[in-house]
Chain A
Amino acid sequence: MSRCSRGILLLSLSVALTTVSFAAPVEITARWINENGRWLVRIEPVDNNRVRTTKFLGDSPALRRRGLFQVTDAASGQRMNFRLERRGENGALSSIDLTFPEIDAPRKITVRVSGLMLQAGEAEAISYEGSVTADPSPGGKYRRSLAAPTPTPSRQLASEPSGGATSPNNTFAGPLPGAGEPTASPAGTAAAGQSGGRSARMPQFPFPPPPASANETVPRDLLVGAKEDPQLRDVDLALSAAFRQCSYGEKSYYAVPNGFAIASRIEQMNADGSPNDDRWSMDVTPLRKFSVEAYLRALFRARPGHYRVIVFLVTDQPFEQEGPKVTSKQAALWVASGFNKLPRDVGEQPLSEDHSCTALIYEFSRVGGGEPTFVEPSQVTGELHLQKSGLLAALRGQ
Chain B
Amino acid sequence: MPDEPKPDRIDLDRARNLLGLLWMIGGGLLVVLVIGQSILGRFDGLAQEFWAWFTPTIFPTLGLIIGVIGSTALEDDSGRTVKRFFFIASVALSILYLVALMGTLLGEPFAGSHDMKYYNQSNYWLSPIQGLAVAAIAALFNSRKKTDLPEPAKPPSAPGRLTP
- Interface residues of chain A, those whose CB is within 8 Å of chain B, are 283-284, 286-287, 295, 298-303, 367-370
Give the complex CA separation of A300 and B37 in angstroms. Answer: 5
User: Are the CB atoms of B42 and A301 closer together than 8 Å?
Assistant: yes
- Nearest residue in B to A369 (C-beta to C-beta)? B46
Contacts A286-B110, A286-B111, A286-B114 given; indicate if A300 touches B43 (C-beta within 8 A): no
User: Are the CB atoms of B109 and A369 closer together than 8 Å?
Assistant: no
- 5 A–B contact pairs at CB < 8 A? A286-B110, A287-B109, A302-B41, A368-B44, A369-B115
CB distance from A118 to the nearest CB of B (A): 46
B108 within 8 A of A: yes
- Nearest residue in A to B112 (C-beta to C-beta)? A286
* Residue from B109, B111, B116 in contact with A295 in the complex, judged by beta carbons closer than 8 Å: B109
Interfacial chain B residues near A300, Cβ < 8 Å: 36-37, 40-42
CB distance from B29 to the nearest CB of A (A): 14
User: Are the CB atoms of A299 and B44 closer together than 8 Å?
Assistant: no
Give the complex CA separation of A378 and B92 in angstroms. Answer: 52
Contacts A299-B106, A299-B108, A299-B109 given; indicate if A283 touches B43 (C-beta within 8 A): no
Name the interface residues of B86-116: CB closer than 8 Å to any CB of A: 106, 108-116
Interfacial chain A residues near B42, Cβ < 8 Å: 299-302
* Residue from A286, A287, A295, A368 in contact with B43 in the complex, judged by beta carbons closer than 8 Å: A368
Interfacial chain B residues near A370, Cβ < 8 Å: 45
* Residue from A286, A301, A369 in contact with B45 in the complex, judged by beta carbons closer than 8 Å: A369
Interfacial chain B residues near A298, Cβ < 8 Å: 108-109
B49 within 8 A of A: yes
Contacts A300-B40, A301-B41, A302-B41 given; indicate if A286 touches B46 (C-beta within 8 A): no
Interfacial chain A residues near B111, Cβ < 8 Å: 286
CB distance from A280 to the nearest CB of B (A): 15
The 4 A-B residue pairs with the shortest CB-CB distance, nearest first, are A368-B45, A298-B109, A368-B46, A300-B40
* Residue from B37, B112, B115 in contact with A368 in the complex, judged by beta carbons closer than 8 Å: B115
- Nearest residue in B to A278 (C-beta to C-beta)? B112
CB distance from A270 to the nearest CB of B (A): 16
* Residue from A283, A295, A299, A301 in contact with B114 in the complex, judged by beta carbons closer than 8 Å: A283
CB distance from A285 to the nearest CB of B (A): 9
Give the complex CA separation of A284 and B111 in angstroms. Answer: 10
- Nearest residue in A to B105 (C-beta to C-beta)? A299
Give the complex CA separation of A298 and B110 in angstroms. Answer: 9
User: Are the CB atoms of A369 and B49 closer together than 8 Å?
Assistant: yes
- Nearest residue in A to B108 (C-beta to C-beta)? A299
Give the complex CA separation of A286 and B110 in angstroms. Answer: 5
Interfacial chain B residues near A368, Cβ < 8 Å: 43-46, 115
User: Are the CB atoms of A286 and B109 closer together than 8 Å?
Assistant: yes
Interfacial chain A residues near B106, Cβ < 8 Å: 299
Interfacial chain A residues near B109, Cβ < 8 Å: 286-287, 295, 298-299
User: Are the CB atoms of A367 and B44 closer together than 8 Å?
Assistant: yes
CB distance from B67 to the nearest CB of A (A): 32
Interfacial chain A residues near B46, Cβ < 8 Å: 368-369
CB distance from B60 to the nearest CB of A (A): 24
User: Are the CB atoms of A283 and B45 closer together than 8 Å?
Assistant: no
CB distance from B81 to the nearest CB of A (A): 43
CB distance from B122 to the nearest CB of A (A): 15
Interfacial chain A residues near B117, Cβ < 8 Å: 369
Interfacial chain B residues near A301, Cβ < 8 Å: 40-42
Give the complex CA separation of A21 and B106 in angstroms. Answer: 73
- Nearest residue in A to B115 (C-beta to C-beta)? A369
Name the interface residues of B113-128: CB closer than 8 Å to any CB of A: 113-117
Give the complex CA separation of A300 and B35 in angstroms. Answer: 10
- Nearest residue in B to A296 (C-beta to C-beta)? B109
Interfacial chain B residues near A283, Cβ < 8 Å: 112-114
Interfacial chain A residues near B40, Cβ < 8 Å: 300-301
Interfacial chain A residues near B112, Cβ < 8 Å: 283, 286
Give the complex CA separation of A298 and B37 in angstroms. Answer: 10
Q: A299-B106, A299-B108, A300-B40 are in contact. List 4 more A-B contacts (CB 8 A).
A: A287-B110, A298-B108, A298-B109, A369-B116
Interfacial chain B residues near A299, Cβ < 8 Å: 37, 42, 106, 108-109
Give the complex CA separation of A360 and B66 in angstroms. Answer: 60
User: Are the CB atoms of B108 and A367 closer together than 8 Å?
Assistant: no
Name the interface residues of B41-90: CB closer than 8 Å to any CB of A: 41-46, 49
CB distance from A279 to the nearest CB of B (A): 16
Give the complex CA separation of A363 and B152 in angstroms. Answer: 78
User: Are the CB atoms of A367 and B113 closer together than 8 Å?
Assistant: no
- Nearest residue in B to A370 (C-beta to C-beta)? B45
CB distance from B150 to the nearest CB of A (A): 58
CB distance from A294 to the nearest CB of B (A): 8
- Nearest residue in B to A284 (C-beta to C-beta)? B114
User: Are the CB atoms of A302 and B43 closer together than 8 Å?
Assistant: yes
CB distance from B53 to the nearest CB of A (A): 11
Give the complex CA separation of A369 and B42 in angstroms. Answer: 12
Give the complex CA separation of A287 and B106 in angstroms. Answer: 12
Interfacial chain B residues near A369, Cβ < 8 Å: 45-46, 49, 115-117
Interfacial chain A residues near B45, Cβ < 8 Å: 302, 367-370
Contacts A369-B49, A369-B115, A369-B116 given; indicate if A302 touches B110 (C-beta within 8 A): no
